[in-house]
Each structure stands twice: as structure tokens, then as C-alpha cells.
Chains A and B, each alone.
Chain A
Amino acid sequence: MTSPGLPSAPGLLSNPLPERRQARIHSSLLWTAAAALLLLAGFLVREHMSTLRMVQQQGLPLASEVAELDRRLEILTQQTQALDLTGDIVGGAEEEDLRLFVLPAGGESARTIAVFTAVVDAWRAGGTVKDVAPITVGAPERATVAGADPLVRRTVRMALRMRNENLADFSALLCLAGLLTVEDAITPDGRKELLAISETGNPEQITSLKRFLSTGLLPYLRDPLAAEERLLAAFPTDALTAFLRMFERTPLIRDGMAFARGPVGTVLLTEKLWPLPFLTVSSLDVEEEEEGWVRVEVELMLYGQTRNVP
């Protein structure tokens, strides 16, 4: 039964309006979905492209960087292993020299006085020094230096007249006081350069570099060729030759060579007064006098450790 006022069900179904409308809605939904999917596809294509571009732009440089890091790591591993093997052989003597002579416990001044006495005696033999006033050494006092353990220091004063030509040796002596080995005369940048050079060729030869750096500074200044030839035999590169030539031209080494080969260097070596105690210059007063003489007054600080570190 159907109500008279209402259209029959078949009539309703056969009504073209809802069917068309349904078709239109269906069509519209399909278009919208297709559009959304195509938009998504666009994003996905862009994602592909950006990923591939990123691989090309970043991946390849990263890969070469990683390959280089890997190569250097392998070299460094070989070098550290080689150094571990020689660690106990080289280095112990220098540590002891540092403790006994460079930074003696309590800032002991006997060696300082012995050094200046030997130097003055060497000059006196050549008649190039006169009017040497007594050396005065102050009482030990505590000293604080950033990054260092507690230290003691003493003030050392001396005054004398010397020939002009001795001034260069005296100046070099003050610059070299407290330096032990070649490594102390090389700047941190220079050391980095040497280590970079050691990575070329046979990296395990780094032990030769260690031997070069631990060469006593005074023996090196007297005869640099012996130590340099051994190093060049291990790393026969132009870069190393250039580095050594430049190192020899630095003021410290150039002046040090003249000093070490002269009478003062010789007396320090024969009297076994090398290495020198660690000194800093508080003031250096030089007055020009007649006939090539100068009057020199110097105030130095002599450093030492507060205790004997085992």
C-alpha cells in the first residue's frame, strides 16, 4: 500500500533528478579524489627529486670525507701503535732532566750560579767581561702561573760589563734557559705541520719524528745536520726539507746556533750544565759605554717546583 499523496517507490527511484544528482556527486567526488591524489603524487615526485638531489649534493662529498677520515684513522692507529711500542724507551731521561735541572725542587739556585759563573769564566778567558758584581739570589717565594701546579721562584740579580759582541750570546742564553729539547723550540703550529708530514710515506716512521723532537736542544744547535738527516731519511719529502730550512731561520734557532757553537755553548756542554734552569727576565738594562763595552744589569726569576714530583 502506498499513500495517495506520496509517489510510489518505483516512481521515486525512477525519478531522474536524484540519479543525476547522485551521478554528479559521484563524479565530483571522483574528480576531487583524483585531484588530491595527483597533488600527492606531485609531492611524492618532488620528494624523490629532492632526495636524489640531496644524495648528489651531500652524499658524494660526505662519502669522500668519510673515506678520507677512514684513511687518516688507519694511519693514526698505526702511528699510535708504533709510539706505544717506543713510549717506554724514549722520554724518561727528559722527564728526569726537567725534574732535576729545569724546575728543581724548591727553586734551588746552585745550578743557576754555576751556569753564570761558567759563562763569565768563558768570557773572562777571552777578556770580554769585567766588573762582575756578585750574583744575588732572593729567598724563595710562592708563585702562581695559570695552568701550573704551585711553584716557587727566586729573584736573581747580576750586573757586569761585557763587550758588545757578548750581548748576542747573553740574550740567546736567556731565551734558551729552561728549554730541554727540539720540541720546546717548535711552535704548536710547527708541530702540527711536522705531524702532518709524518702521515705521508711510511706512517710507522713516526718514531723517527719522536727521536728528532726529543733531541737535546743544545746538541741540535751545535750540529743540526745529524738529527735532520735521520729525520729526512725517514720522511724524504720536499715539505720536510722546507720545514727544516724555515725552522733554522727562526730567531731562536738562528741565534741559538751561534751561541751553541761559541765558547759559552761549548763550556755549558763540557761542564754538563745543559739543560739550563727555567728563568724569566724581569728586566734587562743595557747601557752603552766607551770603546765597545756595555754595562748590563739583569733581574731574573728562577722557577722551581714546590716538591719533588716522583
Chain B
Amino acid sequence: MVVTGLNFRYTIKKTMTDTHPSTHGPQVSADGAEKQPFLAGVAPGLELPIFVFAVVLVSLLSLSLAIVLPVLAQVEVNGQSHDLQSLRLTRDRMAAELLRREREREQGVLSVTDPTYDALKEFRGDLPSFAALREQLRRLTESLVPEEDAIVMQEYLLEPGEKTLTITGDVRNVGPRSMTVLAQFAEELGRLPSVSAVKPPLYRRVEEADGSMHSPFTIVLTLQ
């Protein structure tokens, strides 16, 4: 006979009316229906097999977690098995050892290991080659205006400590365009790869007695 949850509850209800109330008896709700224990009456007869199944399943899984999984989770490196944690530790230890060995090799490969000498070389840095800078500037002036000797650079002052190159010169032979050419020149200087900043010159046009015009300049370049 199949007993459903509904008629089971009905039986309980009926029994309640037959017996006297007791403090240890079943709890009755406000509408007179008996409160059932949690999950009671659900698929009666199956609870024990399911419970046994759950116990067996948990036992097997626990056993697997304790014994089988650590074996499955092993990673073999160079013939040695490691779990993840020990693999991480091995990696960190080897990385530290590698750094130490690299430093040792670098010290060994250098013929001079003098901290003062190294500090001095670092302090001096890469001295910009004055000849190369001057050549760059010459090429720029030649490409900027077709007139010969339009931009004349008369003096250079290289100060590596300040990383500056001060150029003193004059823009001439271009008539009233001298200030425009000077502005172009200052702009193009800023585009040179070895220049990081340009302090623009004072723009002025000087008219000589013979009517010729020119723009003397002083430009300060900050080098890379």
C-alpha cells in the first residue's frame, strides 16, 4: 500500500482527536493541524538507503581526498613528484638561487668591479658627442632655408652637467623674413631626437644702415 503524505497527515489528525492532549504529545498548530518534523513523510522507506548511500559516498570521497587526490595532483618535474605547494616553494627557491648565480656570474665576467668607478661612470652618464650634435644642427639649417648662410651658428656652449647646449647665432640674408625663419628654426630644433626642450629665443629684427635685416638669437637646448 502506498501511503501518501496527505493521508498520513490525515491519520495523525484523526488520532489527535482521539487522545487527550499532553504536554509531551505532538505539537498542534493554531488551526489544529499537527506540526510534522522536518522532512518526515517524504518518500517513506527510502530514507535509510539514501542515508547509507550518502555515508558511503562521503566516506569514499573523503578517502579519495586524503589518499587518491594528492597522488593525482602530483606534478612530475625532472623525475621528482611535487604537489602544487611544494612546486611553488621549489620555484621560489630556484628563482632566488638563479638571481644569486646571475649576480655571481656578472661579477665574475667583469674584469673591474670597483663601486667607486661604477658610480663615477653613472654620474658622468652618456656624454653627448658635441661633434655629432653640431653636425645635426648644420644639416637642419641647410635643409630649412634654401639661401646659403641664412642661419649662422657662431658659438656653442655645451654644459653636460646641466644637459644644455646654448647656441648663439644670427639669421640673415632672408630679408624681412628673418624672424619667421628664426621661429621655424626654433620649432625644428625641438623635433631633433637628441633635444628634449627648447628655450625659445627673443625674437627681434635689426635693421642695418645699408637696409639689410637680420635676427640675432641665443637658443638654449635641453638635451636628452
- The stretch that binds A, out of B122-130, B175-183, B201-209, is B122-130
Chain A nearest CB: distance from B203 CB in Å? 23
Among A167, A171, A179, A180, find the residue whose CB has the most chain B CB atoms closer than 10 A.
A171
A13 CB within 8 Å of chain B: no
A135 CB within 8 Å of chain B: no
Contact status B130-A286, CB under 8 Å: yes
Within B132-159, which residues are at the interface with A (CB < 8 Å)? 132, 134, 152-159
Which applies to chain A's interface (DSSP): helix, strand, loop or mixed?
helix
- The stretch that binds B, out of A29-37, A112-120, A227-235, is A29-37
| Chain A residues within 8 Å of B111, by CB | 90-91, 94-95, 181, 183, 210, 213-214
Q: A59-B73, A103-B116 are in contact. Are A73 and B97 (CB under 8 A)?
A: yes
| Chain A residues within 8 Å of B90, by CB | 66
A6 CB within 8 Å of chain B: no
Which residue of A145, A172, A191, A283 is within 8 Å of B158 (Cβ)? A283
Size band of the interface chain B makes with A: 35 or more
| Chain B residues within 8 Å of A72, by CB | 98
Q: Cα distance A108–B101 when bound, in Å?
A: 39
Chain B nearest CB: distance from A274 CB in Å? 15
Contact status A48-B76, CB under 8 Å: no
Contact status A52-B72, CB under 8 Å: yes
Contact status B84-A76, CB under 8 Å: no
Q: Cα distance A65–B48 when bound, in Å?
A: 51
In the complex formed, the residue of A with least CB distance to B90 is A66
Chain B nearest CB: distance from A270 CB in Å? 24
Which residue of B75, B101, B159 is within 8 Å of A283 (Cβ)? B159
Q: Cα distance A167–B157 when bound, in Å?
A: 14
B211 CB within 8 Å of chain A: no
Contact status A35-B39, CB under 8 Å: yes
Contact status B91-A62, CB under 8 Å: yes
| Chain B residues within 8 Å of A40, by CB | 58
A175 CB within 8 Å of chain B: yes
Query: What does the 1/0 interface line of B25-59 toward A look like (CB < 8 Å)?
Result: 11000000000111111101001101101110110
| Chain B residues within 8 Å of A282, by CB | 159-161
Chain A nearest CB: distance from B210 CB in Å? 21
Q: A80-B105, A80-B108, A98-B112 are in contact. Are A54 and B132 (CB under 8 A)?
A: no
Contact status B108-A62, CB under 8 Å: no
Contact status B75-A30, CB under 8 Å: no
Within A89-130, which residues are at the interface with B (CB < 8 Å)? 90-91, 94-95, 98, 102-103
In the complex formed, the residue of A with least CB distance to B159 is A283
Which residue of A37, A214, A280 is within 8 Å of B55 (Cβ)? A37
Q: What are 19 A-B residue pairs whose CB atoms fall within 8 Å in the complex?
A: A17-B26, A28-B37, A44-B65, A48-B61, A62-B84, A62-B87, A66-B77, A69-B91, A69-B94, A70-B78, A90-B111, A95-B114, A102-B117, A103-B120, A183-B111, A206-B109, A251-B129, A255-B132, A286-B157
Extra pairs beyond A37-B57, A195-B106 (14, CB < 8 Å): A20-B12, A24-B37, A28-B37, A31-B50, A34-B51, A41-B58, A44-B61, A55-B73, A73-B101, A280-B123, A283-B157, A283-B159, A286-B134, A286-B155
Give chain A's interface residues, CB within 8 Å of chain B: 16-17, 20-21, 24-25, 27-28, 30-35, 37-38, 40-41, 44-45, 47-48, 51-52, 54-55, 58-60, 62-63, 65-67, 69-70, 72-73, 76-77, 79-80, 83-84, 87, 90-91, 94-95, 98, 102-103, 145-149, 151, 167-168, 170-172, 174-175, 178-181, 183-184, 191, 195, 206, 209-210, 213-214, 251-252, 255, 278, 280-288, 303, 305
